[in-house]
Amino acid sequence: MRLFGDYHTHTIYSDGKSTIEENVRSAVNKGLKQIAITDHSFSHMANGISRDGYKEQTETIKELREKYNIDILHGVETNLTSLDGDIDVFSDERKDFDILVLGYHYSYRPLSFKNFFNFWLPCFLGVNTKKRIALNTQAYINAIKKNEIDIVAHLNYRVKVDPVAIAMVAKENNTYIELNTRHAEELSDEQLQAMVKTGVKFIVNTDSHFYENIAKPNRVFAIIEKLKIPTEQIVNMHDLPRFKNYNLDKKY
């Protein structure tokens, strides 16, 4: 099993340990055709990238595109920040991202007292009543419908959801569901099998925080093999994926 691209990687601009160039070089050495740089986004407490940092990355990536023979996509891992499906990038910034990965982390900065109590705190406390799971699921669905999300990352990590309901909406909106090797066990076998049946497209990512881990999604590969998930349904195992604001002819 191999990947054409790895679309969720971190650098020293957030909580990663490697530079952008180390990630890119690692991707080249492993024979990838594409690599995405997706650090934690702007509302991440302590280790999110700043808007100035993002601009700096853009300049660095411009230079690396000349130096290395690989497509480098530049985006962020945006935070789901409310039950209404808000995220921590503005809609008029969307054009600045080749790729938008959506993830929930409780290290996002709560927007208000109300937001703290109705979303941040229940997630932090791991509340997983039926009602709470329905609310969390709707938050993701709202986010997918409201924002041009390319990839929904690590479902069930920190926030419990109905992944099958999210997969159905993702399919309608041409959004990929991530099989994340760092959080490979968050989705149960039953949930994964039911998601496969929806026909949604998956994307395998490493969520690498260290360059050596790029393109090595071993835990996910083992699950794919065990459950016999059809690789035709996994976009980066048989071709290059399509992202909403990126295509191969994009000129920089």
Q: Are strands 176-180 and 71-79 parallel, antiparallel or unpaired?
A: unpaired
Among the listed residues 111, 141, 135, the one whose alpha carbon sits nearest the alpha carbon of residue 123: 135
Q: Which is nearer to Zn ion, 216 or 231 (CB)?
A: 216
Q: Which is nearer to Zn ion, 71 or 207 (CB)?
A: 207
Stretch that binds Zn ion, among 26-34, 74-82, 132-140, 162-170 (CB under 5 A): 74-82
> Which amino acid makes up residue 74?
H
User: Please, what is the minimum distance in Å from the beta carbon of residue 211 to Zn ion?
Assistant: 14
Stretch that binds Zn ion, among 97-105, 113-121, 164-172, 213-221 (CB under 5 A): 97-105
Assess 207 for contact with Zn ion (CB under 5 A).
yes
User: Please, what is the minimum distance in Å from the beta carbon of residue 241 to Zn ion?
Assistant: 17
Measured at the CA of 179, the angle between CA 215 and CA 111, to 5 degrees, comes to 110
Q: What is the dihedral of CA 177, 179, 180, 186, to 10 degrees?
A: 90
Total of residues contacting Zn ion (CB under 5 A): 3
Chosen residue from 6, 39, 77, 86 binding Zn ion by CB under 5 A: 77
User: Please, what is the minimum distance in Å from the beta carbon of residue 146 to Zn ion?
Assistant: 20
User: Please, what is the minimum distance in Å from the beta carbon of residue 175 to Zn ion?
Assistant: 16
Per DSSP, the three-state class of 206 is coil
Q: Which is nearer to Zn ion, 199 or 215 (CB)?
A: 215
* Token representation of residue 252: 């920089």
Per DSSP, the three-state class of 90 is coil
* Strands of the 71-79 sheet, one edge to the other: 5-6, 34-40, 71-79, 99-103, 151-152, 176-180, 202-205
User: Please, what is the minimum distance in Å from the beta carbon of residue 34 to Zn ion?
Assistant: 17
Residues in the chain: 252
Q: Which is nearer to Zn ion, 54 or 67 (CB)?
A: 54
Q: Which is nearer to Zn ion, 49 or 164 (CB)?
A: 49
User: Please, what is the minimum distance in Å from the beta carbon of residue 180 to Zn ion?
Assistant: 8
Q: Which residue is nearest to Zn ion (CB)?
A: 103
Q: Which is nearer to Zn ion, 21 or 186 (CB)?
A: 186
Q: Which is nearer to Zn ion, 98 or 207 (CB)?
A: 207
127 C-beta neighbours (distance < 10 Å), count: 15
Asked if 96 and 125 count as a contact pair (C-beta separation under 8 A), the reply is no
Paired with 75 in beta bridges are 38, 99
User: Please, what is the minimum distance in Å from the beta carbon of residue 88 to Zn ion?
Assistant: 13
Asked if 204 and 218 count as a contact pair (C-beta separation under 8 A), the reply is no
Assess 103 for contact with Zn ion (CB under 5 A).
yes
CA 167, 169, 174, 175 dihedral sign is: negative
Stretch that binds Zn ion, among 43-51, 62-70, 98-106, 124-132 (CB under 5 A): 98-106
For Zn ion, the binding residues (CB under 5 A) are 77, 103, 207
